[in-house]
Amino acid sequence: MIDRLDATNIDPVAAAASYRERVVGPYPGVLPRSAVASIEKQLSGACTVEIAAFDEFTSLLADPTATSAYDHVVFYNAPTAHTLRMLSSPEVWFEFLETNQ
């Protein structure tokens, strides 16, 4: 065992389910069913899994109680295409939000 060395494996499927619940959960009964269905459809793609996993990772980094015992945090991700797509996600979302209501 190495002091101050830990690993965590973010389950992307579980992260996506949690992410969808946080995004969609408040709206059934508030918005029309068609609007909720549209949100669910938009969150059904592979990018949602990647975004949700990255969201969970950044939440971990933003929690000082989770990271204060460490000097470095190493983030290992799937092969390059997935990594590049995930790292460009904020740019894609900003563009989407600027051009859509």
**Model confidence pLDDT, tens digit, residues 87-98:** 677 776 777 677
Q: Does 4 reside within a domain?
A: no
Residue 7 lies in a domain: no
Does the residue 2 lie in any domain? no
66 is a domain residue = yes
Give the Cα separation of 93 and 51 in Å (integer). Answer: 10
34 falls within a domain? yes
Domain range enclosing 34: 12-99
pLDDT digits (tens, 9 = 90+) for 30-51: 999 999 999 999 998 878 888 8
User: What is the pLDDT confidence band of residue 82, given thresholds at 50, 70 and 90?
Assistant: low
83: how many CB neighbours lie within 10 A of its CB? 14
pTM above 0.85, yes or no: no
Instruction: Over range 7-30, report the average pLDDT.
Output: 91
Number of domains in the chain: 1
Measured over the CA atoms of residue 62, residue 90, residue 23 and residue 80, the dihedral's sign is: negative
Burial class for 15, CB neighbours closer than 10 Å (0-12, 13-18, 19+): buried
Q: Which pLDDT value is given to residue 20?
A: 92
